[in-house]
Structure formats: C-alpha cells, structure tokens
C-alpha cells in the first residue's frame, strides 16, 4: 500500500539532472476561418506561455515536489537562453551551463486551439562537442555527482549526450556510488552501458530490440521479459523499466527476469502527453533515491503521469496532487477531497513552489452557501486563466459577521467540501475575515478572477494589480444567484417525506 510519508522525505533529497534542456512555448487561441493567402487555418493567438522543456521539465517536476535539484547541461547565449536561466532560478535549481559559440537554445513552439494541438514548430541545431567542451562537461558533472543522491539522465538526442559524455556520467556514478536512471532516445543502447535503470517507452524498446509487441496478446509480458533479458545482456544494463502508455509500465531486472513487475496505467482521459515521461522520470528517480521499493516507486510514478496527462501542455505534479491520488488509489475518497482543503500556511508554501516551477497561480473567493450554475461558470472561467486555482471560502464566523446570525445555511465544512469536489478547483482555504484581502496579500496570486465585480469596487483585485498581477472580470450568467434560489425555496409548499 502506498503511503504519503514518502512525499515528506522528498524534501531531504538532492537530485542531479543531466541532459538536453529546451524552452517550451505554448500559444493558445482559436481557429475561426481559412486564410485567403493559402488553404491553411488562421490561428488567432489569445494567450501565450513559456516554460522549461526537455530535461528542464524533469527539473520543474522535482522542484514542484520540494526536491533540491542540480543541473549540468548546455544552452545558447541568446534571449531564449536567458529565459531558461530565469526559469531555472525560479525553481531554485543549482545549475552549471556550458554555452558554446553560435549555438541557439533549443525551442519548441506549440499552437493549441480549443484544447486541440494543431502544430509544433522547432528551432534547434544539433550540438557538436569538441574536446575542450567534453573536458569542461566532465569537470562540472563530477563536482555535482559527489553531493547528489541520484542522477537522472534525460536524453532528447540534441547532441549533449554522446556515447563519450554518457559514459562519463555512468562511470562517475559508479565511482561515487550513485545510482543513475536514464530516459533514452537512442536505438543503440551501448551508450547507456552500465546504467542502473534505463526507461524506454514501448516504441523505443521495439527499436532497440528489433521486435514488435502487442499488449493485447496473452503472453506479451513473457515476450517482453525474454527480449529484455537479451537487451540487458547485450548492452550491460542492470534493469529495464518499459513504459507502456495506456497499458502501464513493466520493470525487468537483469538479475531475475522472471520476477518482472507489471502495473496497469491510471484510467484517465488524456488531453496532452507532453512531458508525461519527464514527470515519470522525476518521480521514479526521487522515489528510488528515497529508498522506496521498486513496485511502489512504479505505482507512484504511474499516478504522477496520470495527473499530468490530464493537463494541457508540459505540466508538473505537486505533493498535494500526489497526496490526493494516493488517497484515491487506496480507496479513501473522503480524504481525497479533504486533501484539497488546506491551511493558509500550506497554501503559501504550495503557491511559492508552483511559482518557482513557472506556474500561474489563480484566485477567486466567496461564501458558496448555495452552489449554482453561476458559481460553476465562475470557477471554470477562473481556472482558464491559470495553472492552479486557489479558492478562498468564507468561514462560518465570516459569513455571520457579514449576513447575520441566521447564516450560513450550510456549515463551512460542507461548503468547503462541495467546492473541493469540483474539478476546476485545486485548493480551498477557509478565512475568517470579512474580505479575502488578507488572503490575497499572503498568497500573492498572479491572477484574480470573479464575476459580478468591477475592478474599481474590488479591493482584492486592486491589490493584485498593485504588485503586477492581473484582475479578470468574468462574464456573469444572469438569473442565477443565491438570493433567487432562497426566494424560490421560501415560496415552496414543502411536502414532508418519510
């Protein structure tokens, strides 16, 4: 059984990431017509966002979980490179960057309309390492391996991880007694010889083995075991962890392939698989470094991947999201909802960690005594403006101060649970004050959104704007209000039921 104690132990870890880092840019918009210049859709950009990509997404996921991270890699001495450094600084990552002359920072641009991924455009140049760069790389990597608990190698085949540099990493890990976990891209696994765990997906495993597998076959697990044994013997790899997308993942140890472990995937609607492998690598590596048994480490990584594929774009998983997922996996539905209801101190810590990962923090608030469509619409609109939505809920004391002793109709526990049950809401914080101004001052969200309020009459919005955030006046749905519902109830002839 998975326990949540592991999440606390993550804070004691130091993880070194080595690999190809890049800048991910996302343009969100809509397509309403075809261009008169050519038979192509016109993409109208409504919002854009940039974040760490490639190995950077592994780093962001580690940082989001409260893990101390280090990074050694390459970037360009350009505007995108400066953006990468700014994002790395936000994660509090200790990084060492080599900047070759005339090397542009790898950048991936994705265009998304109405949750549909339309196109990706890449700006990149394959990195060519000379002897001086390799020597510099070895020097930097050795310095960082000494003080790390585990090393994660993320190969995106952009030129940094050659056979020589990858073997430098693995040799140094052996020298200092550190485990190394590799997310591969090469068809030739000789590059990864000596690694503790190599984590290919099924397609990559098929390419390296020359075999084809159908997960619907009754004997596919046995076929994978036998083939994995050949691959590990051929390339001197200690263990293989093969991710199978919707069919979960399978761990095969070279010491005893018959003791292979297979776990099923989380049943979840997939919006975008961007970065899911990075999340899996980060959580798996952290769990192994923390001493978690391999089966439980796989289950935890599986839960984390299931969370991020339900989000748009490269995404991170938080300790709270994993905590909720663990509760659900253990069948504790009530606690899963309660995990969203947090104290102000916890909210401040979570908001800080998410911001360090480059995430946009959103906020809205209310009493939510009688939930209706207007509230649902408001939550959906607020969530559309951010990556993580915090909702301030007036406590019973607060509502009594504002409306009188006969209110609220439902106690704060009930109201908080109802709000926490909504998919748009990430966290709920109760507050005793008459307004949410103090809560906003403590959380300092990037954006505040609410319907029915003008900015000039909205102190919380003015506060957010004062430190550079955004305030969004959401469109109000008419004919939905708590007072209107209460009037209808008051006019009903109630029928007693037994």
- Asked if the model's pLDDT at residue 336 lies above 60, the reply is no
Min mean pLDDT across 85-89, 100-104, 481-485 is at 481-485
Domain ranges in the chain with CATH number 3.40.1190.20: 5-20+54-105+126-196+268-337
pLDDT at 390: 97
pLDDT tens digit sequence for 233-282: 999 999 999 999 888 899 999 999 999 999 887 644 444 455 678 999 99
Give φ, ψ of 95 to 5 degrees.
-125, 150
| Strand ranges for 35-124 from DSSP E | 41-54, 68-74, 94-98, 107-113, 116-123
Instruction: Compute the average pLDDT of residues 412-430.
Output: 93
pLDDT class of 346 with cuts at 50, 70, 90? confident
State what percent of residues in the chain have pLDDT above 70. Answer: 91
Q: Which CATH architecture has domain 5-20+54-105+126-196+268-337?
A: 3-Layer(aba) Sandwich (3.40)
pLDDT at 451: 86
pLDDT class of 349 with cuts at 50, 70, 90? confident
Instruction: Compute the average pLDDT of residues 291-319.
Output: 82
Min mean pLDDT across 91-95, 291-295, 315-319, 345-349 is at 315-319
- Asked if the model's pLDDT at residue 334 lies above 60, the reply is no
Domain ranges in the chain with CATH number 3.40.50.620: 342-489
pLDDT at 485: 66
Sign of the torsion angle spanned by Cα atoms 167, 170, 174, 175: positive
pLDDT class of 109 with cuts at 50, 70, 90? very high
DSSP for residue 194: T
Helix axes 131-145, 163-175, angle to 10 degrees: 30
Cα 348 to chain centroid, rounded: 18
Helix (H, G, I), strand (E, B) or coil at 365: strand
pLDDT class of 59 with cuts at 50, 70, 90? very high
> How far is Cα 472 from Cα 461, in angstroms, rounded to an integer?
8
> Nearest Cα to 249, choosing from 189, 298, 185, 186?
298
- Sorted by sequence, the CB contacts under 8 Å of residue 303 that are 6+ apart come out as 2, 266, 322, 325, 326, 329
Give φ, ψ of 144 to 5 degrees.
-85, -30
Pair type for strands 116-123 and 107-113: antiparallel
Measured distance between the N- and C-terminal CA atoms of the chain, rounded to whole angstroms: 42
Min mean pLDDT across 100-114, 118-132, 185-199, 271-285 is at 271-285
Mean pLDDT of the chain: 89
Pair type for strands 150-154 and 116-123: unpaired
pLDDT at 480: 59
How far, CA to CA in Å, does 255 sit from each of 85, 182, 389? 41, 19, 46
> How far is Cα 327 from Cα 222, in angstroms, rounded to an integer?
32
- Which active-site residues does the annotation give? 278
Q: Which residues pair with 122 in a beta bridge?
A: 108
> Nearest Cα to 473, choosing from 349, 371, 375, 382?
382
Give φ, ψ of 259 to 5 degrees.
-95, 20
pLDDT tens digit sequence for 122-161: 999 999 999 999 999 999 999 999 999 999 999 999 999 9
Min mean pLDDT across 22-36, 63-77, 285-299, 315-329 is at 315-329
pLDDT at 267: 47
- Asked if the model's pLDDT at residue 337 lies above 80, the reply is no
- Asked if the model's pLDDT at residue 288 lies above 50, the reply is yes
Min mean pLDDT across 92-101, 270-279, 376-385, 443-452 is at 270-279
DSSP for residue 190: G
Half-sphere exposure of 319 (CA within 13 A, CB side): 25
State what percent of residues in the chain have pLDDT above 90. Answer: 67
pLDDT at 486: 64
H runs (alpha helix) in 47-103: 55-64, 79-90
pLDDT at 272: 45
> Nearest Cα to 419, choosing from 444, 452, 389?
389
Cα 122 to chain centroid, rounded: 22
pLDDT at 271: 45
The dotted CATH code for 342-489 is 3.40.50.620
CB 94 within 8 A of CB 74: no
> Nearest Cα to 241, choosing from 172, 182, 287?
182
pLDDT class of 48 with cuts at 50, 70, 90? confident
pLDDT class of 4 with cuts at 50, 70, 90? confident
For 160, the token pair is 């940094």
Please count the residues of the chain.
498
Long-range contacts of 244-253 (CB under 8 A, 24+ apart): 244/201, 244/202, 244/215, 245/201, 245/202, 247/215, 248/302, 249/280, 249/298, 249/301, 249/302, 250/221, 250/224, 251/294, 251/295, 251/298, 252/224, 252/225, 252/228
Sign of the torsion angle spanned by Cα atoms 198, 159, 52, 87: positive
pLDDT at 324: 79
Instruction: Compute the average pLDDT of residues 289-315.
Output: 83
């Amino acid at each position: 059984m998975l326990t949540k104690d592991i999440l606390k132990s993550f804070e004691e870890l130091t993880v070194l990431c080595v690999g190809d880092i890049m800048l991910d840019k996302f343009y969100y918009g809509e397509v309403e017509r075809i261009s008169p210049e050519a038979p192509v859709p016109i993409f109208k950009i409504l919002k854009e966002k940039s974040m760490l990509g490639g190995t950077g997404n592994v780093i962001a996921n580690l940082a989001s979980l409260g893990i101390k991270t280090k990074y050694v890699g390459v970037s360009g001495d350009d505007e995108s490179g400066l953006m990468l450094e700014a994002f790395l600084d936000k994660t509090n990552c200790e990084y060492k960057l080599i900047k070759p002359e005339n090397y542009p920072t790898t950048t991936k641009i994705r265009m998304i309309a109405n949750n549909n991924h339309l196109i990706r455009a890449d700006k990149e140049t394959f990195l060519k390492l000379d002897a001086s760069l390799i020597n510099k790389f070895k020097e930097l990597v050795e310095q960082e391996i000494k003080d790390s608990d585990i090393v994660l190698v993320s190969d995106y085949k952009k030129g940094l991880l050659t056979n020589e540099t990858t073997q430098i990493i693995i040799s140094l890990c052996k020298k200092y007694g550190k485990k190394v976990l590799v997310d591969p891209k090469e068809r030739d696994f000789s590059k990864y010889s000596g690694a503790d765990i190599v984590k290919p997906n099924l397609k990559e495993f098929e390419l390296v083995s020359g075999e084809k597998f159908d997960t619907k076959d009754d004997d596919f697990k046995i076929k994978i075991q036998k083939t994995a044994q050949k691959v590990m013997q051929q390339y001197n790899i200690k263990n293989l962890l093969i991710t199978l997308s919707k069919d979960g993942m399978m761990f095969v140890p070279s010491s005893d392939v018959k003791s292979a472990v297979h776990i099923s995937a989380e049943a979840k609607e997939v919006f975008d698989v961007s970065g899911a492998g990075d999340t899996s690598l980060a959580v798996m590596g952290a769990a192994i470094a923390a001493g978690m048994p391999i089966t439980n480490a796989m289950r935890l990584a599986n839960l984390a991947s299931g969370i991020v594929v339900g989000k748009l774009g490269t995404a991170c998983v938080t300790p709270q999201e994993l905590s909720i997922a663990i509760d659900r996996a253990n069948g504790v539905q009530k606690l899963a909802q309660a995990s969203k209801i947090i104290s102000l101190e916890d909210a401040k810590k979570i908001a800080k960690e998410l911001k360090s990962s480059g995430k946009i923090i959103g906020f809205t608030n209310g009493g939510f005594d009688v939930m209706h469509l207007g509230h649902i619409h408001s939550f959906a609109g607020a969530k559309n403006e951010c990556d993580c939505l915090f909702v301030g809920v007036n406590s019973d004391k607060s509502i009594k101060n504002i409306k009188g002793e006969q209110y609220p109709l439902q106690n704060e526990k009930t109201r908080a649970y109802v709000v926490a049950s909504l998919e748009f809401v990430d966290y709920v914080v109760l507050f005793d004050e008459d307004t949410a101004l103090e809560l906003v001052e403590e959380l300092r969200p990037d954006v505040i959104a609410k319907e029915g309020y003008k900015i000039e009459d909205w102190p919380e919005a003015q506060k957010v704007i004062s430190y550079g955030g955004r305030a969004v006046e959401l469109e109000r749905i008419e004919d939905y209000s708590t007072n209107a519902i209460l009037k209808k109830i008051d006019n009903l002839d109630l029928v007693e039921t037994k």
